[in-house]
Structure 1
């Protein structure tokens, strides 16, 4: 099963085109140089060009090397991950994979010698010979890679990128897969978390001539409290949004409380959480949160950290605090649904190439069975070189029996939110060797029983109390705020496991060859029905309510750990197994509600309507908001635990 990159130009024409490994450069001067495909992002256009970086500025790059026999590596990764295949579960160790497929020492030496000869500093070689860390001035990089680095305005950022494809001489071009770091992409990578907001202001309420209702309370379960709002959907009383579910509620809601009570709790499985940076109070916060929610303290050695330092690129990555909040969501959510699993936090030194370094460390040491990644790019409009490099990491993970799980994103189809010129899912969630986790809004009753789920897509209509009587500023459902990412990939062909399950209206959305569609599965993501998360902020332990597919991903990873408890072999790359269970009782099919579902903000300042996710829509069977659906408790665990 080979997944080819699809050029956007070919998409527009309704055709599929292979990105050739080595395209001859137009230059004819000796020595002959060859392009490094995908080194220039689509946004590096003359219209976006804003200037040139200082020639003396230093830039670090990762020169990824080609795997030996990459096609065979993909076929093996697919075989060991597919139930019913005679190779299923016969995973390779890192040493076995590297012996067969990793770049050779000779390749490393040859490329390193070239880089040094161009005046670059070679700072090290990644484990498994996956890439060479190098650095140099802008002038040196221009010379070494036969291009000109420029700056471009894109999505409100000033980003560096090659103005034309990087090139390399024939002596090394056939050894190099990609050069990451020439194009600056860190500001385009983000954690996918959100808080529920209440747009009321005391000033607006006190100045309003129309009587505003007294503030209500957020609800600890669905329908506990109600708020009066102007009439919508045939009623004026609406439940208030949720204060944030607890681990006990989530275990009950996803039907894993019974298995956990009987010892099927994730024991023997390691879940790695990968984010940028590291909170200095994470272990203490996780312990306190678990104890205050009836789970008890972590056992000795149950939580550990691997942190890459020194931290850098904090301005580009939005600072440590936002990523520390992401870390808290991920760690506590995974432990909430898999209290017996070992949690290993892997903190990258930045949100750019540092994340690749962290992922490579995991696969080179096989330091986890399940990897939860609650971050990604907004869309697929990133350098193809970055896509190709990370794809090889995911292939090795699958070959080793490591499951890579990524949040599907929080901006729906991206184009509705104004992030991309056309509808597209987010990468890395769209990679065919990744399990993409979409999102839902979930209602639990007073006894923690499952009431319903909708696709996560939030529209908000604010109430204008300056009118008499009060009225909505825009007709409900109002404006799209956020929702689960998904849709049809512009990069990858349809993988075999999606055939016969994903409707052709989705897989052929661009015409021509069927494409990969995101997500694969889903879990709770809506911050208005989110999870209570505890962490230390400015020295004070604080509990806040968070959501986003940043929550959905670790929640589902925890369920997978529970299902892994008594398996003979690790689940590994899960998608072939997940799709093979499509017609079983393993999933709850998330369907549109017959009548609109909406909640009120406690202040009465806005109406929040569920299940309006940009151009994406939940539907019967597979859909591009919730994928196959959400795990159906013990039935899901029973089906997934076979193996």
Structure 2
């Protein structure tokens, strides 16, 4: 794979380069080398910078900061920005964007230039019929930028995450007109009533939705909401790093995720604005979509719904830390972040016989959303158990291998990890709701009425609930976990398991504190 026209990143440099902690990547198992990118190809690289001072729990517990106060206190310093820009200039890289509140610098250069600037060797690889640009080993930077720069993203453009939804039946045979294909199916408003959501439509709120592929068709949205007798929410597509609303016509692909997210959140809170941030499915795209949503001063989302994820083992440490830091930013600004906990049980589709949690749901600054199987009679809940479907799907959940036990879970009864060594760590999920596709959500995707489940549906359902509560109380709830854990258990789910972990009274690693309980959640409206 050697190419004599490309500079050797190991050759002597004017400033010796040092490995950036947490930046090591390994190639996916089974990836086949197919060549190298052209030295003149253009690459955009995202650098995430440190905050001027560390976050304290007391500051999060206080009232949300204004965007101006946040930028003054936690935005990137001009000195740090200047040092990064100077390094980019020294390596003949162009600065595309430098954001103080997002603590982000995006630079652009040729393959040869970025290889030299970051001490990496890029190759082309094929896996599963898809070619990607990849790297292995650490990213290198000058010693004086270690600590200033917390992460470097975008050198590698392998797919970072997958959607967390499950079809109730094969594409082409899953119409709502054929209810025998599923045990039961529900519209989002039916679920809102069953769970006792407070009255309201979320007017005045903006729900941000992160998407890493696929798209929506306005005609489908008009037909869906008209069928529910609801007004059409205002939906806006926002491009991040060249991502766009690009429906593929495949309801079993990413379109299913996009439409599920919009329709569930919009049907629960039809008065809210829906802002959909489309980004490439890379570590850089995912991070930039989140930071752009959190720091969107124009739309000012009060809640972010994320239904994409991957096992912690598939992320670099720098990527998890950068995303976790972005969620801390959200907490300071009073923005709630909700993440699907995964659809493959405690193993999270890794297949190594160990338990794994899904990220970003395992971030201590996110509210992880697990899944249940639900039965209703005359609109009332008669049974709700852990989702563990016969088809192999099951709610994600467990104990993080990366993040320690957060303070708010100290008294929750999080067990040691089921893995050897019994690590004590962040417990996932925090909340739950119906996710079994056999008791799934009625939605419309690519011209088809269909039933979809998965923890992907739980995140936008809770997002709609948070938007309703925010509108009613006239102030954003912000970091939800800090408010939920003192309330105690919600609708407690005590039956079932997800593989390595079983449900029981109180918090558990299948359904967290439980599914929504309207009576208990009403207390959130009274909190300051």
Instruction: Summarize deviations over 1:452-497 as a string: whole Å, max 9, x none.
Output: 111111124xxxxxxxxxxxxxxxxxxxx21111111111011000
Question: How many residues end up aligned between the 2 structures?
Answer: 512
Structure 1 position 514 matched with structure 2 position 443 = no
1:290 to 220, 225, 238: 225
Partner of 1:524: 434
Whole-Å separation in 1 of the counterparts to 2:166 and 2:309: 14
Partner of 2:45: 61
Based on CA coordinates, which of the two structures has the bigger radius of gyration? 1
Structure 1 position 628 matched with structure 2 position 513 = yes
Structure 1 position 491 matched with structure 2 position 423 = no
Whole-Å separation in 2 of the counterparts to 1:634 and 1:512: 36
Shift of 1:573: 0.7
Instruction: Summarize deviations over 1:371-390 as a string: whole Å, max 9, x none.
Output: 11111124442111211221
1:434 to 363, 366, 376: 366
Whole-Å separation in 2 of the counterparts to 1:142 and 1:421: 37
Whole-Å separation in 2 of the counterparts to 1:552 and 1:408: 9
3-state SS of the aligned residue for 2:477? coil
Partner of 1:588: 491
Instruction: Summarize deviations over 1:164-211 as a string: whole Å, max 9, x none.
Output: 2121113433321111112334x231111111126999xxxxxxxxxx
Partner of 1:192: 164
Trace 1:526-545 onto structure 2 (pairs within 5 A).
526-535=436-445, 537=446, 541-545=447-451
Instruction: Summarize deviations over 1:563-593 as a string: whole Å, max 9, x none.
Output: 333325311010011111115xxx111121x
Shift of 1:449: 1.3
Trace 1:44-443 onto structure 2 (pairs within 5 A).
50=33, 53-56=36-39, 57-69=41-53, 71=54, 73=55, 75=56, 78-82=57-61, 87=62, 90-126=63-99, 128=101, 130-150=103-123, 159-185=132-158, 187-197=159-169, 219=179, 241-242=182-183, 244-256=185-197, 259-260=198-199, 264-276=200-212, 279=215, 281-282=217-218, 284-295=219-230, 297-298=231-232, 302-308=233-239, 311=242, 322-340=253-271, 342-352=272-282, 353-366=284-297, 367-414=300-347, 417-418=349-350, 422-443=354-375
Shift of 1:244: 2.4
Q: TM-score, normalised by structure 2?
A: 0.87
Whole-Å separation in 1 of the counterparts to 2:316 and 2:245: 21
CA RMSD of aligned residues (A): 3.3
Contact (CA 8 Å) 1:52, 1:149: kept in 2 or not?
no
3-state SS of the aligned residue for 2:33? strand
Cα 1:518/1:126, change in 2 over 3 Å:
same
Whole-Å separation in 1 of the counterparts to 2:105 and 2:241: 19
Whole-Å separation in 2 of the counterparts to 1:199 and 1:168: 48
Could you list the runs of 5+ residues in structure 1 that have no partner in the other structure?
1-25, 202-216, 220-224, 226-239, 461-480, 593-610
Could you list the runs of 5+ residues in structure 2 that have no partner in the other structure?
1-9
Instruction: Summarize deviations over 1:408-451 as a string: whole Å, max 9, x none.
Output: 11111235x34567321111111110001011111111x11111
Whole-Å separation in 2 of the counterparts to 1:255 and 1:41: 45
Whole-Å separation in 2 of the counterparts to 1:167 and 1:98: 28
3-state SS of the aligned residue for 2:359? coil
Cα 1:580/1:110, change in 2 over 3 Å:
same
3-state SS of the aligned residue for 1:64? strand
Trace 1:567-606 onto structure 2 (pairs within 5 A).
567=473, 569-583=475-489, 587-592=490-495
Higher relative contact order (CA 8 A, sep 6+): 1
Contact (CA 8 Å) 2:245, 2:278: kept in 1 or not?
no
3-state SS of the aligned residue for 2:401? strand
Partner of 2:464: 558
Shift of 1:501: 0.5
Trace 1:32-51 onto structure 2 (pairs within 5 A).
32-43=16-27, 50=33
Contact (CA 8 Å) 2:17, 2:142: kept in 1 or not?
yes
Contact (CA 8 Å) 1:379, 1:420: kept in 2 or not?
no
Whole-Å separation in 2 of the counterparts to 1:617 and 1:55: 51
Contact (CA 8 Å) 1:104, 1:129: kept in 2 or not?
no
Cα 1:334/1:190, change in 2 over 3 Å:
same
Whole-Å separation in 2 of the counterparts to 1:199 and 1:268: 36
Please say which of residues 26-35 and 50-59 is displaced more in the overlay.
26-35
Please say which of residues 624-633 and 173-182 is displaced more in the overlay.
173-182
